[in-house]
């Protein structure tokens, strides 16, 4: 299911996660396909960029088009047309939305649909039933996410609920072709994080997500929590840092031993005109790019950079053409895939620290930061 091919001196790991729809080399990043698609792109375009896995939201898909529609089509892979690995998130992150959540207690979560205002109760058992029937390759347990800044008492209760829900998810899990990952909680409280992790390890899962981070806490606090978590998480199971996708944070987390990532960050930023490059991030809608006929990044081999100039993309975005968002999304995801590929190569060659430091300097001091 999961093997480690190489440990770099930095602490970074290169491995392979085997799923029902293929093997995925780690470390890897998953584009977010919340509703079964990565915004503005086709699955063919995402696959051609080299990605072997995406993540969808089981709760959102449960609301529309519904489990029955997906199940009758032959499952999520058949319904969406994505033939590679699919993770499904349980929807626990939606608990953070006060307009969505109505009640969360030991039984589960009660919420109102933003689509038609209908009322729904999601228990751990129902969460797993939904994902079992959808047929994703990796299902995530239902976890209790609370806002950054909550008290230690609130976080302690969230850990209790997360552990109990995880146990019930494991007992309800019937799809033996589907891997099941747990998610640690505990906010920024080290002792609670340690307790959460150890309680989940006792239940035993195929992999472990590090949840409840990148929601407002200082970066240095997040880094410390990741380091502490990875000292406790098992060596032979994949470690999944949920919701983190900035290039800088990806590199730092990889050096701490994280294997799997997902985030809307690259695609959302693309739709807001922010381009990623190894010489820094920049907003291409700025006036200085109106007559810039160079590609977004000269060394990039993505469709956008091989065929179009900054000036053309700038023109499309200023005129709110959807094609501009498509070209930007293609580039940003190509950059992230390139970053992950180079990271793995550096780990295998035991030079990740050198690669990380050189890349971070380039992004911080490069010409695009001027």
Contacts of 59 (CB under 8 A, 6+ apart): 89, 90, 91, 94, 122, 127, 130
* CA angle, residues 33, 327, 82, in degrees to nearest 5: 30
Whole-angstrom distance, CA of residue 255 vs CA of residue 123: 36
Whole-angstrom distance, CA of residue 277 vs CA of residue 92: 32
Instruction: Clarify whether 204 is annotated catalytic.
Output: no
8, 89, 143, 206: the catalytic one is 89
- Residue 265: strand, helix, or coil: helix
Whole-angstrom distance, CA of residue 266 vs CA of residue 123: 32
Instruction: Clarify whether 89 is annotated catalytic.
Output: yes
Whole-angstrom distance, CA of residue 157 vs CA of residue 236: 29
* 65 alpha-carbon distance from chain centroid: 23
Q: Max Cα separation, the chain?
A: 60
**DSSP per residue, 120-135:** EEE-HHHHHHHHHHHT
Which residue, 144, 142, 116, is CA-closest to 130? Answer: 142
Q: Is 335 within 8 Å of 366 (Cβ atoms)?
A: no
Whole-angstrom distance, CA of residue 25 vs CA of residue 23: 7
* CB-based burial, 220-251: b 16+ in 10 Å, e otherwise: eebbbbbebbbebbeeebbbbbbbbbbbebbb
Beta bridge partners, 260, equal 28, 240
Exposed / middle / buried, residue 353 (Cβ in 10 Å: 0-12, 13-18, 19+):
middle
> Token pair of 156, please?
């302690």
* 196 alpha-carbon distance from chain centroid: 21
Contacts of 117 (CB under 8 A, 6+ apart): none
Looking at the annotation, which residues are catalytic?
A: 89, 262
């Amino acid at each position: 299911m999961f093997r480690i091919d190489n440990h770099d001196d930095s602490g970074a790991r290169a491995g392979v996660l085997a799923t029902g729809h293929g093997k995925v080399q780690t470390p890897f990043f998953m584009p977010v396909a919340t509703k079964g698609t990565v915004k503005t792109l086709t699955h063919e375009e995402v696959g051609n960029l080299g990605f072997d896995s995406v993540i969808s939201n089981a709760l959102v898909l449960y609301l529309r088009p519904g489990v029955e529609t997906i199940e009758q089509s032959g499952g999520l892979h058949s319904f969406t047309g994505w033939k590679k690995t699919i993770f499904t998130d349980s929807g626990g992150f939606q608990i953070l939305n006060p307009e969505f959540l109505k009640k969360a207690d030991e039984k589960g979560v009660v919420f109102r649909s933003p689509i038609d205002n209908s009322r729904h109760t999601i228990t751990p058992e129902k969460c797993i039933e939904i994902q079992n029937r959808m047929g994703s390759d990796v299902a995530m347990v239902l976890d209790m996410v609370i806002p950054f800044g909550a008290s230690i008492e609130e976080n302690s209760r969230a850990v209790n609920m997360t552990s109990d829900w995880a146990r019930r998810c494991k007992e309800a899990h019937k799809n033996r072709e589907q891997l099941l990952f747990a998610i640690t909680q505990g906010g920024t409280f080290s002792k609670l994080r340690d307790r959460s992790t150890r309680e989940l390890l006792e239940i035993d899962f195929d992999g472990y997500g590090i949840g409840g981070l990148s929601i407002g806490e200082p970066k240095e606090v997040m880094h410390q929590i990741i380091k502490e978590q990875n000292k406790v998480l098992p060596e032979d199971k994949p470690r999944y840092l949920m919701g983190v996708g900035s290039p800088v944070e990806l590199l730092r987390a990889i050096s701490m031993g994280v294997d799997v990532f997902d985030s809307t960050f690259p695609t959302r930023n693309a739709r807001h005109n922010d381009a990623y490059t190894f010489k820094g991030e920049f907003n291409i809608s700025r006036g200085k790019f109106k007559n810039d006929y160079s590609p977004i990044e000269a060394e990039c081999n993505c469709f956008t950079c091989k065929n179009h100039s900054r000036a053309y993309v700038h023109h499309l975005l200023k005129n709110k053409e959807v094609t501009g968002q498509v070209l930007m999304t293609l580039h940003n995801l190509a950059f992230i895939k390139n970053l992950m590929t180079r990271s793995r190569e550096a780990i295998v060659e035991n030079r990740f620290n050198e690669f990380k430091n050189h890349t971070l300097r380039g992004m911080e001091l490069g010409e695009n930061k001027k």
